[in-house]
Amino acid sequence: MQDVSPSGRPSGLWARWKRRFVDAIHGLTVAMRDQESLWVHFVFALAVVFLSAVLRVEALQWCVLTLCIAVVIALELINTAIERLVKTLHPEHDAGLAETLHMAAGAVLVAAMGSMVVGLIVFIPAIVRLFSIER
């Protein structure tokens, strides 16, 4: 028998976890709908995955690249959430809040630039090897 909370929602362990995943996926889809910068990150992520497969990068390199992708997208989602929260709670312009938003965007930029450096470190030697195969 499944437990039901006073609100009428299922309260069993699996029902709660399912609800959390549904809510998280909903948040991701809302962010994807509202933030074009998130789409840019996803396009670059797909390019990295494609290039990694074509160049047959090693397992550890896959792990590092995957972690870079996850960090950039996670930070973009956090930045988007902060933007939405600030704009909802304080719709009029405030210099201090604007700086806060800029800092959150800066975190995304730092992660994206660091990820780009990791990508260059992984891909440049792989591309050089691809084109310098001795025949």
pLDDT tens digits for range 69-112:
999 999 999 999 999 999 999 999 999 999 999 999 999 999 99
Place of tokens 């709660």: 16
Question: Cβ neighbours of residue 32 under 8 Å, at least 6 residues apart?
Answer: 38, 39, 42
Residue 50 and residue 29 in one domain: no
DSSP β-bridge partners for residue 10:
4
Residue 42 and residue 28 in one domain: no
Domain coverage including residue 59: 36-131
**How many angstroms from the chain centroid is the CA of residue 46?**
12
Mean residue pLDDT across the chain: 91
| Res 1: pLDDT | 44
126 close to 79: Cβ distance less than 8 angstroms:
no
Kindly indicate the confidence band of residue 4, based on its pLDDT and cuts at 50, 70 and 90. Answer: low
Residue 25 and residue 61 in one domain: no
What CATH number should be reported for the domain holding residue 79?
1.10.287
- Give yes or no for residue 125 having a pLDDT over 90: yes
How far is the C-alpha of 132 from the C-alpha of 73, rounded, in Å? Answer: 34
| Res 132: pLDDT | 85
55 close to 123: Cβ distance less than 8 angstroms:
yes
Residue 52 and residue 113 in one domain: yes
- Give yes or no for residue 19 having a pLDDT over 60: yes
